[in-house]
């Protein structure tokens, strides 16, 4: 065998897996066909946050007067904003190159295909094929933008997230189909920069996985910032023959036509399961994802799969955690299974949204008797000083044992605060312990303590 472990794909699933494997003493190789860091670093988490930061700075400058400063009018060249985002992604990808070297992981550039007998063939950019073998092969080939049959992406007028991150010029108007985290983040970025944005969402609420009160509040905030939002609506077809796009949208009140320069399709992802040798090896898939057990073993011994290619939450931190769990189990360590009920989800629009655990509706459906506490950011000293009082914290406890069932937040900076709830829930903390954990003043995090206190009738500042 050439290697103990070969990892295919270098996204946050693959590269983290490779580093943990190397730390555990495995001779490790990682194979990548594009850029180190995968979608997350190159076309996902990081470049979107870079764009959103530019938008936030632009917004702040234009609102300088709100902070007692002289009025300024910010201006920008759109390609420079894109270039900064691409630069940030490039820097992060270089960082992964360094980490691979530091951990003595062999980086093999090319397109990998798994083969029977625990082998992997790699075709490099010149078409040369090399075969490698390993005791354990971990597939982390990730996913791409999902294409709907009635919304085929031409990459110019009907685009996916890659094009939305690298448009040569700013569209004057944009239709965003889908209001999950990706759709809402792009809608917020383009709207803040001056594009007229309309979101079309099939479900009754935007960010449909979130607690309903959070979704409703976000809808109000985004509408206030100028985004048009159509819920219970679906794009039936799109006509790209004219100057821009004409989308035929089905609504409760009949069909309407929306016109824009560009349509961004943000309706989820499709796992990269094609042409990677799954059929040849006999690895089972279901509904477009690779089937694995709780230790990420596929149906064929010696082959594993993690990250966006398996049917768990498609998030970078989930992919990384799965990879670490997978190699630690291979090492024979005593490993805890991942608790998929305690995975935080974040949307980095403004106001931000962050949550973990059950929504109020889910908690009730599960039969819990609950205590709900809410605290508005308008009552937070730090949020007021920051000039960002839009939002609130909502916490849900089990009335009987005090278990922290869910935490839902909307407001500036909440994505950095949700980890408190994740750790507390992991440690099986009760509401009482949160109230008695002294939070620093002035911070927005006090709002979590206050929301917990509100659930028990002990809130101080409202
Ligand atoms: C616009 C956008 C924003 C996002 N924002 C966030 C966020 O804020 N937070 C968050 O948690 N998640 C976010 N995500 C999701 C996150 O990017 C993914 O969940 C994460 O990248 C999945 O990691 P992965 O390792 O499974 O796969 P990927 O990151 O997709 O990496 C897979 C890698 O495998 C390579 N590959 C594929 N096939 C082969 C082959 N045959 N041979 C060799 N290499 C191959 C690919 O080139 C790629 O580099 C976002 C996604 C998008 C699209």
pLDDT at 365: 98
Torsions phi, psi of 5, nearest 5?
A: -135, 130
What is the residue whose two structure tokens read 């685009």?
Answer: 159
Q: Residue 390 annotated as binding? A: no
Residue 317, CA distances (Å) to 321, 324, 344 in order: 6, 11, 9
DSSP H or E segment with residue 10: none
Give the right CATH number for 158-267 from 3.40.50.10140, 3.50.50.60, 3.30.540.10, 2.40.10.10.
3.50.50.60
Which residues make beta-bridge pairs with 270?
144
Which residues make beta-bridge pairs with 37?
none
Query: Ligand 1: which of 39, 320, 419 to mutate, judged by most atoms within 8 Å of the beta carbon?
Result: 39
User: 27: which DSSP letter?
Assistant: -
Residue 273, CA distances (Å) to 97, 122, 257, 288 in order: 25, 16, 36, 7
Residue 400, CA distances (Å) to 119, 359, 370 in order: 54, 18, 8
Torsions phi, psi of 409, nearest 5?
A: -135, 145
Ligand 1: centre distance to CA 264 (Å): 19
Ligand 1: centre distance to CA 220 (Å): 31
- The candidate with the shortest Cα–Cα distance to 455, out of 389, 405, 388, is 405
Looking at the chain, how many residues does it have? 462
pLDDT at 89: 98
Ligand 1: centre distance to CA 342 (Å): 21
Rg (CA), the chain: 23
Q: Is the CB of 112 under 6 A from ligand 1?
A: yes
Q: How far apart are CA 253 and CA 387, in angstroms?
A: 39
Q: Over the range 56-70, which residues count as b (16 or more CB within 10 Å of their CB) and which as e?
A: bebeeeeeeeeeeee
Q: How far apart are CA 306 and CA 115, in angstroms?
A: 18
Instruction: Please confirm, yes or no, whether 217 is among the known catalytic residues.
Output: no
The tokens describing 433, both together, are 């312990």
347 Cα nearest atom in ligand 1: 8
Q: How far apart are CA 230 and CA 214, in angstroms?
A: 17
Torsions phi, psi of 143, nearest 5?
A: -150, 175
Are 271 and 152 in contact by the 8 Å Cβ rule? The answer is: no
Query: Ligand 1: which of 20, 31, 40 to mutate, judged by most atoms within 8 Å of the beta carbon?
Result: 40
Q: Atom 2 in ligand 1: which residue has the minimum CA distance?
A: 44
Question: Which of 59, 439, 441, 461 is the catalytic position?
Answer: 441
Are 215 and 208 in contact by the 8 Å Cβ rule? The answer is: yes
Ligand 1: centre distance to CA 140 (Å): 9
Ligand 1: centre distance to CA 314 (Å): 9
User: 336: which DSSP letter?
Assistant: P
Q: Residue 366 annotated as binding? A: no
pLDDT at 1: 63
Helix axes 181-192, 45-62, angle to 10 degrees: 30
Q: Atom 6 in ligand 1: which residue has the minimum CA distance?
A: 45
| Residue ranges, CATH 3.50.50.60, the chain | 2-145+270-340, 158-267
348 Cα nearest atom in ligand 1: 8
Q: How far apart are CA 376 and CA 389, in angstroms?
A: 8
For domain 351-455, give the CATH number. 3.30.390.30
Q: Is the CB of 372 under 6 A from ligand 1?
A: no
β-strands 245-251, 254-260: how paired? Answer: antiparallel
Which residues make beta-bridge pairs with 290?
285
Q: List all residues 6 or more positions away from 211 whose beta carbon is below 8 Å from its beta carbon.
A: 355, 359, 360, 361, 394, 406, 408
The tokens describing 440, both together, are 């620093």
User: 338: which DSSP letter?
Assistant: P
Q: How far apart are CA 237 and CA 287, in angstroms?
A: 24
Q: Is the CB of 281 under 6 A from ligand 1?
A: no
Fold classification of 2-145+270-340 (topology level):
FAD/NAD(P)-binding domain (3.50.50)
Ligand 1: centre distance to CA 250 (Å): 32
Q: How far apart are CA 400 and CA 370, in angstroms?
A: 8
Q: Is the CB of 354 under 6 A from ligand 1?
A: no
The tokens describing 75, both together, are 């201006």
37 Cα nearest atom in ligand 1: 49
| Residue ranges, CATH 3.30.390.30, the chain | 351-455
Are 17 and 326 in contact by the 8 Å Cβ rule? The answer is: yes
Q: How far apart are CA 457 and CA 448, in angstroms?
A: 14
User: 71: which DSSP letter?
Assistant: P
Q: Is the CB of 33 under 6 A from ligand 1?
A: yes
14 Cα nearest atom in ligand 1: 25
39 Cα nearest atom in ligand 1: 29
Q: Which stretches of the chain score pLDDT less than 50?
A: none
The per-residue pLDDT for range 195-232, each reduced to its tens digit, is: 999 999 999 999 999 999 999 999 999 999 999 999 99
What is the residue whose two structure tokens read 């440690």?
Answer: 427
Q: How far apart are CA 11 and CA 9, in angstroms?
A: 6
Neighbours of 236 (CB within 10 A): 12
Collapse the DSSP code of 93 into the 3-class scheme (helix H, G, I; strand E, B; otherwise coil) and give the result.
Answer: helix
């Amino acid at each position: 065998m050439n290697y103990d472990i070969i990892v295919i794909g270098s996204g946050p699933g693959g590269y983290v897996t490779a580093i943990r494997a190397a730390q555990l003493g495995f001779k490790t190789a990682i194979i990548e066909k594009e850029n180190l860091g995968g979608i997350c670093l190159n076309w996902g988490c990081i470049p979107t946050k870079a764009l959103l930061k530019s938008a936030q700075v632009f917004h702040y400058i234009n609102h300088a007067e709100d902070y007692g400063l002289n009025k300024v009018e910010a201006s920008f060249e759109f390609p420079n904003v894109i270039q900064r985002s691409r630069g940030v992604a490039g820097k992060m990808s270089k960082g992964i190159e360094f980490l691979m070297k530091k951990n003595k992981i062999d980086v093999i550039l090319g397109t990998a295909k798994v083969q029977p007998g625990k082998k992997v063939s790699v075709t490099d950019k010149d078409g040369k094929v090399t075969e490698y073998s390993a005791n354990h092969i971990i597939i982390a080939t990730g996913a791409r933008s999902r294409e709907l049959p009635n919304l085929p992406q031409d990459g110019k007028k009907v685009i996916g997230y890659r094009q939305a991150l690298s448009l040569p010029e700013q569209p004057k108007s944009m239709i965003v189909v889908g209001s999950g985290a990706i759709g809402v983040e792009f809608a917020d970025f383009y709207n803040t920069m001056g594009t007229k944005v309309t979101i079309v969402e099939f479900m009754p609420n935007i960010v449909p996985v979130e607690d309903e009160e959070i979704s409703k509040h976000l809808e109000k905030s985004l509408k206030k910032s100028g985004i048009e939002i159509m819920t219970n609506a679906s794009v039936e077809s799109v006509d790209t023959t004219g100057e821009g796009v004409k989308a035929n949208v089905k609504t409760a009140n009949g069909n309407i036509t929306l016109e824009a320069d560009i349509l961004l399709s943000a309706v989820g992802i499709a796992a990269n399961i094609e042409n990677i040798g799954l059929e040849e090896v006999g690895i089972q898939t279901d509904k477009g994802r690779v089937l694995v057990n709780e230790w990420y073993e596929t149906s064929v011994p010696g082959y594993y799969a993690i990250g966006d290619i398996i049917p768990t939450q498609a998030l970078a931190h989930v992919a990384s955690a799965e990879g670490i769990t997978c190699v630690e189990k291979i090492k024979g360590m005593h490993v805890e299974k991942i608790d998929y009920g305690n995975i935080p989800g974040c949307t980095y629009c403004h106001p931000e949204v962050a949550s973990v655990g059950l929504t109020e509706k889910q908690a009730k459906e599960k039969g819990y008797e609950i205590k709900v506490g809410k605290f508005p950011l308008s009552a937070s000293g730090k949020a007021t000083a920051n000039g960002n009082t839009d939002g609130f914290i909502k916490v849900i406890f089990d009335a009987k044992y005090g278990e922290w069932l869910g935490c839902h937040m909307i407001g500036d900076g909440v994505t950095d605060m949700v980890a408190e709830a994740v750790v507390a829930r992991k440690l099986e903390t009760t509401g009482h312990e949160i109230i008695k954990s002294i939070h620093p003043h002035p911070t927005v995090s006090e709002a979590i303590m206050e929301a917990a206190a509100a659930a028990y009738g002990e809130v101080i500042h409202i």
